[in-house]
Amino acid sequence: MGTIRLTVAQAVVRFLANQYSERDGVRRRLVPGCFGIFGHGNVAGVAQALLEARVTGTAELPYYLARNEQAMVHAAAGYAKTLNRLQTLACTASIGPGSTNMLTGAALATTNRLPVLLLPSDIFATRVASPVLQELEDPGGYDHSVNDAFRPLSRFFDRVWRPEQLPQALLGAMRVLTDPAETGAVTLALPQDVQAEAADWPEELFAERTWYVPRPVPEPAALERAAAVIKNARRPMLVAGGGVIYSEATDALLRFAEATGIPVADTQAGKGAIAWNHPCAVGGVGSTGSQAANALARQADVVLGVGTRYSDFTTASRTAFQHPDVRFVNLNIASFDAAKHAGVMLVADARTGLDALTGALAGYRVDEAYTERHRALTGDWNRVVDRAYHLGHRPLPAQSEVIGALNEVIGPRDVVVQAAGSMPGDLQMLWRSSDPKQYSVEYAYSCMGFEIAGALGIKMAAPDREVFALVGDGSYLMMAQEIVTSVAEGIKLVIVIVQNHGFASIGELSEKLGSQRFGTAYRFRDPGTGMLTGDKLPIDLATNAESLGAQVIRVRTIDEFRDAVKQARASSVTTAVHIETDPLAPVPSSDSWWDVPVSEVAELESTRQARATYEAHKARQRPLV
Number of Cβ atoms within 10 Å of the Cβ of 27: 13
Q: Give 142-152 pLDDT, tens digit per residue.
A: 999 999 999 99
Helices and strands (H, E) in the chain, number of each type: 23, 23
Share of the chain above pLDDT 90, in %: 86
- Identify the CA nearest to 465 among candidates 24, 79, 62: 79
Q: Would the pLDDT of 256 be above 80?
A: yes
Using CA atoms, how far apart are residues 249 and 308, in angstroms rounded to an integer?
13
Residue type, 595: D
Please give the torsion angle defined by the CA atoms of residues 317, 319, 323 and 329, in that order, rounded to the nearest 10 degrees: -10
Mean pLDDT of 504-531: 81
Number of Cβ atoms within 10 Å of the Cβ of 562: 16
Q: Which residue has better confidence, 14 or 502? A: 14
Q: Give 162-190 pLDDT, tens digit per residue.
A: 999 999 999 999 999 999 999 999 999 99
Q: Give 567-602 pLDDT, tens digit per residue.
A: 999 999 999 999 999 988 988 999 998 898 888 998
The pLDDT value given to residue 462: 98
Using CA atoms, how far apart are residues 50 and 503, in angstroms rounded to an integer?
41
Which residues of the chain are in CATH 3.40.50.970 domains?
Answer: 3-212, 390-501+539-580
Share of the chain above pLDDT 70, in %: 100
Q: Would the pLDDT of 193 be above 90?
A: yes
The CATH H-level superfamily of 390-501+539-580 is: Thiamin diphosphate (ThDP)-binding fold, Pyr/PP domains (3.40.50.970)
Is the peptide bond between 131 and the residue preceding it cis, with omega within 30 degrees of 0? yes
90 and 16 in contact (C-beta within 8 Å)?
yes
The pLDDT value given to residue 521: 81
Q: Give 404-414 pLDDT, tens digit per residue.
A: 999 999 999 99
Q: Give 430-460 pLDDT, tens digit per residue.
A: 999 999 999 999 999 999 999 999 999 999 9
Q: Give 279-314 pLDDT, tens digit per residue.
A: 999 999 999 999 999 999 999 999 999 999 999 999
Using CA atoms, how far apart are residues 37 and 456, in angstroms rounded to an integer?
16
The pLDDT value given to residue 515: 80
177 and 89 in contact (C-beta within 8 Å)?
no
Kind and range of the H or E run holding 158: strand 156-159
Cα–Cα distances in angstroms (integers) from residue 229 to residues 303, 305, 419, in the given order: 10, 13, 36
Using CA atoms, how far apart are residues 329 and 226, in angstroms rounded to an integer?
6
Q: Give 471-499 pLDDT, tens digit per residue.
A: 999 999 999 999 999 999 999 999 999 99
The pLDDT value given to residue 517: 82
Mean pLDDT, the chain, integer: 95
In the CATH hierarchy, which top-level class contains the domain 3-212? alpha beta
Work out the pLDDT band at 56, boundaries 50, 70, 90. Answer: very high
Cα–Cα distances in angstroms (integers) from residue 463 to residues 16, 202, 495, in the given order: 23, 37, 16
Using CA atoms, how far apart are residues 194 and 161, in angstroms rounded to an integer?
7
The pLDDT value given to residue 514: 77
- Contacts of residue 77, Cβ cutoff 8 Å, sequence gap at least 6: 105, 108, 109, 112, 114, 116, 442, 454, 457
Using CA atoms, how far apart are residues 381 and 374, in angstroms rounded to an integer?
10
245 and 258 in contact (C-beta within 8 Å)?
no
Q: Give 111-137 pLDDT, tens digit per residue.
A: 999 999 999 999 999 999 889 888 899
> What sign results for the dihedral spanned by CA atoms 143, 148, 151, 156?
negative
- Identify the CA nearest to 565 among candidates 504, 490, 493: 493
Q: Would the pLDDT of 84 be above 90?
A: yes
Using CA atoms, how far apart are residues 586 and 405, in angstroms rounded to an integer?
17
Which residues of the chain are in CATH 3.40.50.1220 domains?
Answer: 220-380
Longest pairwise C-alpha distance within the chain: 79
- Residues written for the chain: 625
Which value, in Å, is the radius of gyration of the alpha carbons in the chain? 25
DSSP class of residue 216?
Answer: P
Residue type, 161: W
Q: Would the pLDDT of 370 be above 90?
A: yes
- The CATH code of domain 220-380 reads 3.40.50.1220
Pairing, β 26-29 against β 19-23 = antiparallel
Work out the pLDDT band at 525, boundaries 50, 70, 90. Answer: very high
DSSP class of residue 463?
Answer: T
Give backbone dihedrals phi and psi of 344, rounded to 5 degrees, phi first: -70, 120
- HSE, CB side, 13 Å, CA atoms: give it for residue 233: 30
Work out the pLDDT band at 507, boundaries 50, 70, 90. Answer: confident
